[in-house]
Structure 1
C-alpha cells in the first residue's frame, strides 16, 4: 500500500516499532510464483480505526514489493507503470468516496477504502527515510478478485500499485516467529483468550491479544486501545442499557475442525427501528467471521475477497461467481450497543449504509461508511447447530421454539391473511355456506400452500 521509491537510493533505518503479534519478522523468506523473496524491512502505520504493518520484500532478481499485514490478512503490491496519458485521468484523493466507481487504466474499479495513516515506527532496510510526522495517503479499489492501490503520499498524482491477496501458506513462508517467540516478545500468546482490567472502571474484559485493536468494556462501555503496549482509554463510555447476549463473550466452538471464540458483540438498528445482534468470532487459522441474530433466525457471514465485477450504486442486481443476486433492501444502520473486542474501532452511534442482495438462501451485503466499503456473504445457520457448537454458552431457543421466530414466518403471515379473508366473507358464508365454502377453502389453500413451501425451502 506504500510507495516503492526505487529512485531513492539512500536506505533509511528506523527503530522503536510497536511489538505486535505478527508471525512475520526481518529475515522471513518465501516464494511468490517461482520467485524467492526475503523480508528486509517494515514500517507500521496507524489510522483512527486501527493499525497495520507493511513489510518490505526483496526478491532474488532485485525487484522489491510490499507485503501488507493487517489482522491476519495479507496482500502483496507492486508498482504498475501506467500510461502517462491515463495517469492524468486518475481521480483526485479528496474526491474519492467508498462505493463509487472510478476509471483506472481502461476499466471501472470500485473504491473500497480511503485512508490517511501516520507512520509510527519502522525497522530494517527501507527504500526511503521516514521521519516523524510522515503520513501515507492511500486508496484501495476492487473489481472482482482484482485490486489496485493508489498512493498519494508524495504527490497529487498517485503512484499505481496492483496487488493480490495471499496467505503465508501459499507463499511457503519460512523463518516465521512461532507462538513461544511471540509470547516472549509481547507477553502473551497470540490467539489465546486473555483478560485485562478496564482502565476506566476496573471490570474484567476478555479479549484476544494481538488481533483486536479496540475493546469496549461491557460494564462502563469505555473504548480502550488494545493495540498499544499499555491499554489506554480512548473515550469514556455512554450510559446505555445492557443488551442480553444469546451467546456469551468468550464462548468457544469447534467448527469445521477449527477453534473459534466469540470475542465481541454489537447491536444494530435500521431506519425503521428494527434491531439485530452481530457476534464477532475469531479463529487462529480462519480469522474473523460473524454470527448474525435477527427475528428471522441466525446466519453466518464472512467478508468477501471476490467483489462484483460490474457493481454500480443503485443497481438492481449484482453478479458474483457467475450467480446473479437481486436487490432486497437499501437502508441505514446505527450501532446502538457494543461490548467486547473488535479488530477495528467500534462505538455506539457508528452509522453504515447497507445494501442487501439475495439468490436463494445466500445473501450478500454491501456496507459503506465514510472511509470504507466491505462486501460479505451470509447463509442460514440453524439454532440447533449453534447449540451443538457452543453448548450451555448458547442461550437461544432451539427446536420448535426457535422455528417460531423465523422458520414459519410465511405460514404465520398466511394464517393472518386467511383469518382476515374469512372475517370479511363471514356474511356470505353464513348466507350461502354450501355455495361458498369450497371457494373459500380453495382460496385459503392457494395462500397457505405456497407459504408452507417457502418455509420448507428456508429450512433446506
Structure 2
C-alpha cells in the first residue's frame, strides 16, 4: 500500500493496488496521477451519482475461491442510461472489473485472445462472434462517456473520457470488447454473477441506499416538473429518466436539477390498476412501483398491455405485467439461455427446454414515472417468446441491445394482497360478480320442480297445492327482479 498526501487539500490518499495509476481524493475530488516519485493533481473529478447500487468502495467478497475488495469506480453514461464499473483488487494481487448495470452484475478481467476480432462497426446484436473457440452473441453495443470517478483506477480517466464497448454473452460466460484505444479491442472475459454468489459483505443496506441515493440532489423524493410545474414523486438516484405523469415531458434526472429532454408527446390515456408510488412487501422486501408503460402490437389481432416497473433496494428491479391473459411477473435473466439464432425454435434455461411460441414487434404507446433506461413513446422492440409448462422466456431485441427475461403467471388475488387494489375485470366480467344469467337458471330449476310436484296435485287439489304455487311464483319473481338490476 502507498500513502500520499493530496496536493490539493492535504488529505491522506491510499493506493491499495500497485496497478493503480490514478485516484480521486474523497475529500476535495482532486484527480491524482501517480508516477514513480510523486502524485500530480490533474484537476477535479465530478462527484459520482449515488445511485441504487448496494456496492460501495470497501465492499468485499469471494468468487472462484479468490477474495476481492472494491477499491474504485467509474460511472459511464450512454444514450439510453448509465452504469457503474467497479475496480476490484484480489487478495493474490490480481485485479478486475465488477460491472453493475440495473441490478445485473458481471465480473471480468483482461484476457489474451487468438482470433482476429471484428471491427466495432461490424458488430451486430445476436450475430455470433468466436473468441478462443467459443461462440458468443453480442448483447449490448454502446458508445459511452465517463461522467464521474471514485477511488483508485488502473488507468487515467477524466470527465468526458469516451469509450466504445460491446458486451457478449454465452450462458453465464461474459466478454467485453473494449475498442476505446483503437480498432483492435482489449478483451475482458468473466462470468455473470449475483451478489449472493459473490458472498458480498460491507454492502450498503436499504436505508443507506435510500439516503445515499438522495445525497447528490439534496435528499429529495419529489420535484416540480420543469415543463409544467406538476409535482413528481420518485426515488432519487434510482434512474436517470423520468416521464411527468401530467404533461408527459421526458426529463433528465441525473444531475442536481432535472432538465427537460423532450416535450410531452401525445399519448394514450393511462388508466392503471396499480398507482405509481404504490408499495408492497414482496418476498420480505419493500418494493415500490416507480414506472408504468403501455405497450401494444399492431396489425390484425393487435393487443395492448401494461407493464409496471418495481424496485427494491435489496431485491433490485422486476416487472409486473397486466394483460388480457392475466397477470405475470418477469425479471431480466443474468444468465442467458442456450439459444441458436440460426435455428431459433428452442431455448434452454435451468435444464429445461422452451419451445418458440410467438414473435412480434411492440411499441410503447404511453409511459409515466421513472425507469432505469430512457423510455420514449414510439420506442420499438422485437420480441420472441419461448414457452413450457413452467413459464415463458422472452428475448427483446433492438439495434443496440438484447435482453432475456423469464415470466411466470400470478393470480390476481396475489396482486390484491400486495397492493390492496379492487376487483379486476377480465374479459368484461368483474371477478367479484357472479356469472351472468344466474337468475334465469334459478327460474328454470324452480319451474321444473313445480311441474314435478304438480302432477299428483292435479288429482288432489287443495290448500297445499295452492300454497306451493304461490311460493313458486314469488321466488321466480324475485329472481327476475334481480336479473333486471344486473
Return 348-357 or 48-57, whichever deviates more: 48-57
Q: TM-score, normalised by structure 2?
A: 0.74
2:74 pairs with 1:43: yes
Query: Paired residue for 2:362?
Result: 333
Query: Paired residue for 2:153?
Result: 126
Q: Aligned in 2, Cα 1:184/1:263: closer, same or farther, shift over 3 Å?
A: closer
Return 174-183 or 215-224, whichever deviates more: 174-183
Cα distance, 1:183 vs. partner? 6.1
Q: Aligned in 2, Cα 1:102/1:301: closer, same or farther, shift over 3 Å?
A: same
Q: Which has the higher helix share?
A: 1
Higher RCO (CA < 8 A, seq sep 6+) = 1
Q: Aligned in 2, Cα 1:169/1:145: closer, same or farther, shift over 3 Å?
A: closer
Q: Aligned in 2, Cα 1:311/1:206: closer, same or farther, shift over 3 Å?
A: farther
Give the counterpart of 2:48 among 18, 41, 46: 18
| Aligned counterparts, 1:339-378, within 5 A | 339-360=368-389, 362-378=391-407
Q: Aligned in 2, Cα 1:193/1:279: closer, same or farther, shift over 3 Å?
A: farther
SS at match of 1:388: helix
Query: Paired residue for 1:288?
Result: 317
Contact 1:100 1:313 in 2 (8 A): no
2:185 pairs with 1:154: no
Q: Aligned in 2, Cα 1:182/1:368: closer, same or farther, shift over 3 Å?
A: closer
SS at match of 2:121: helix
Q: Which one has a bigger Cα radius of gyration?
A: 2
Q: TM-score, normalised by structure 1?
A: 0.78
Deviations, residues 9-57 of structure 1 (Å, cap 9, x unaligned): 8546532233313443333333334333332222111111111221211
2:221 pairs with 1:194: yes
Partner Cα distance (2:216, 2:315) in 1: 17
Partner Cα distance (1:320, 1:289) in 2: 19
Partner Cα distance (2:86, 2:282) in 1: 32
Partner Cα distance (1:40, 1:304) in 2: 27
2:423 pairs with 1:387: no
Number of residue-to-residue matches in the alignment: 394
Contact 2:242 2:252 in 1 (8 A): yes
Q: Aligned in 2, Cα 1:234/1:189: closer, same or farther, shift over 3 Å?
A: closer
Q: Aligned in 2, Cα 1:260/1:48: closer, same or farther, shift over 3 Å?
A: same
Cα distance, 1:150 vs. partner? 1.1
Partner Cα distance (1:270, 1:381) in 2: 23
C-alpha RMSD over aligned residues: 2.9
Return 346-355 or 41-50, whichever deviates more: 41-50
Structure 2: stretches of 5+ with no match in the other structure: 1-16, 25-30, 32-44, 436-486
Give the counterpart of 1:231 among 241, 258, 263: 258
Deviations, residues 262-283 of structure 1 (Å, cap 9, x unaligned): 1111111113232111111112
Partner Cα distance (2:111, 2:105) in 1: 19
Q: Aligned in 2, Cα 1:270/1:173: closer, same or farther, shift over 3 Å?
A: same
| Aligned counterparts, 1:80-95, within 5 A | 80-83=111-114, 86=115, 88=116, 90-95=117-122
Q: Aligned in 2, Cα 1:185/1:326: closer, same or farther, shift over 3 Å?
A: closer
Return 305-314 or 266-275, whichever deviates more: 305-314
Contact 2:107 2:193 in 1 (8 A): yes
Cα distance, 1:144 vs. partner? 1.4
Deviations, residues 97-126 of structure 1 (Å, cap 9, x unaligned): 222222222122111111111011223322
Q: Aligned in 2, Cα 1:363/1:24: closer, same or farther, shift over 3 Å?
A: closer
Q: Aligned in 2, Cα 1:178/1:229: closer, same or farther, shift over 3 Å?
A: farther
SS at match of 2:420: helix
Partner Cα distance (1:319, 1:241) in 2: 37
Query: Paired residue for 1:266?
Result: 293
Cα distance, 1:373 vs. partner? 0.3
Query: Paired residue for 2:237?
Result: 210
Deviations, residues 326-367 of structure 1 (Å, cap 9, x unaligned): 111111111000011111100101010111111125111110
Query: Paired residue for 1:64?
Result: 95
Deviations, residues 414-444 of structure 1 (Å, cap 9, x unaligned): xxxxxxxxxxxxxxxxxxxxxxxxxxxxxxx
Contact 1:193 1:206 in 2 (8 A): no
Cα distance, 1:152 vs. partner? 1.1
2:170 pairs with 1:143: yes
Partner Cα distance (2:60, 2:396) in 1: 36
Give the counterpart of 1:52 among 83, 96, 102: 83
| Aligned counterparts, 1:73-112, within 5 A | 73-83=104-114, 86=115, 88=116, 90-112=117-139
| Aligned counterparts, 1:299-310, within 5 A | 299-310=328-339
Q: Aligned in 2, Cα 1:327/1:402: closer, same or farther, shift over 3 Å?
A: farther
Contact 2:105 2:334 in 1 (8 A): no
SS at match of 2:339: coil
Query: Paired residue for 2:63?
Result: 32
Deviations, residues 204-239 of structure 1 (Å, cap 9, x unaligned): 222222222211111111111122222111111113
Partner Cα distance (2:388, 2:293) in 1: 26
